Amino acid sequence: MSNPSLTRIAQLAATITAEVAKIDGILAARGLPSPSLDEDAPPTLPDEAADAQDAVIDAAAELNDLLREPLSAIYEHGGHNNNVCLQTIARFHISAMVPAGGRVSYADLAARTALPEQVLRRLLRHAMTMHVFREPEPGMVAHTRASKALTDPAMNAWLRIGTEEMWPAAVRMLDALQKWPESSEPNETGFSLGHNTSESIYGVIGGGGPELAVRFATAMAVYASRPEYSPAFIVDHYDWAALGPETRVVDVGGAQGHVAMALARGHANLASVLVQDMAVVVAGADAGVPAALKSRIAFMPHDLLAPQTVVADVYYFRWILHNWSDKHCVLILRAQIPVLKPGARIIIQETCMPEPGAVPRWKEKALRMNDINMGAVFNARERTVGEWRDLLAEADPRFVLKAVTEPKGSALGILEVVWNGTD
Ligand X SMILES: C[S@@+](CC[C@H](N)C(=O)[O-])C[C@H]1O[C@@H](n2cnc3c(N)ncnc32)[C@H](O)[C@@H]1O
Nearer to ligand X, 190 or 253 (CB): 253
Neighbouring-strand partners of residue 314: 249, 345
Residues 221-260 touching ligand X, rule: CB under 6 A, are 224, 253-255, 259
189 binding ligand X? (CB under 6 A): no
Nearer to ligand X, 232 or 400 (CB): 232
350 binding ligand X? (CB under 6 A): no
Separation CA 194–CA 113 (nearest Å): 25
| Binding segment (CB under 6 A) for ligand X, from list 72-80, 92-100, 277-285, 371-379 | 277-285
Nearer to ligand X, 135 or 303 (CB): 303
Minimum distance between the CB of residue 247 and ligand X, rounded to whole angstroms?
19
List Cα–Cα distances, 30 to 17, 49, 127, 222, in angstroms: 20, 11, 33, 27
| Known catalytic membership, residue 322 | yes
List Cα–Cα distances, 260 to 215, 294, 404, in angstroms: 19, 11, 21
Separation CA 237–CA 130 (nearest Å): 36
Judged by CB under 6 A, the number of residues near ligand X is 18
| Binding segment (CB under 6 A) for ligand X, from list 35-43, 81-89, 130-138, 275-283 | 275-283
Separation CA 283–CA 261 (nearest Å): 16
- Is residue 82 within 8 Å of residue 75, measured between CB atoms? no
Using CB under 6 A, pick the residue from 202, 233, 315, 388 that binds ligand X. 202
- Is residue 85 within 8 Å of residue 123, measured between CB atoms? yes
278 binding ligand X? (CB under 6 A): yes
Minimum distance between the CB of residue 43 and ligand X, rounded to whole angstroms?
20
Using CB under 6 A, pick the residue from 52, 159, 169, 220 that binds ligand X. 220
Residue type, 363: K
Catalytic residue (one of 258, 302, 322, 328) = 322
Nearer to ligand X, 29 or 306 (CB): 306
Separation CA 211–CA 225 (nearest Å): 21
Nearer to ligand X, 133 or 229 (CB): 229
Residue nearest to ligand X (CB): 253
Nearer to ligand X, 255 or 298 (CB): 255
- Is residue 154 within 8 Å of residue 218, measured between CB atoms? yes
DSSP H or E run through 317: strand 314-318
Positive or negative, the CA dihedral 294, 300, 301, 305 is negative
314 binding ligand X? (CB under 6 A): no
Got the DSSP string for 153-203? HHHHHHHHIIIIIIHHHHHTHHHHHHHSTT---TTSSHHHHHTT-SS-HHH
Minimum distance between the CB of residue 131 and ligand X, rounded to whole angstroms?
27
| Binding segment (CB under 6 A) for ligand X, from list 27-35, 89-97, 264-272, 302-310 | 302-310
Using CB under 6 A, pick the residue from 191, 319, 399, 419 that binds ligand X. 319
The residues binding ligand X (CB under 6 A) are: 202, 220, 224, 253-255, 259, 277-278, 281, 302-305, 318-320, 323
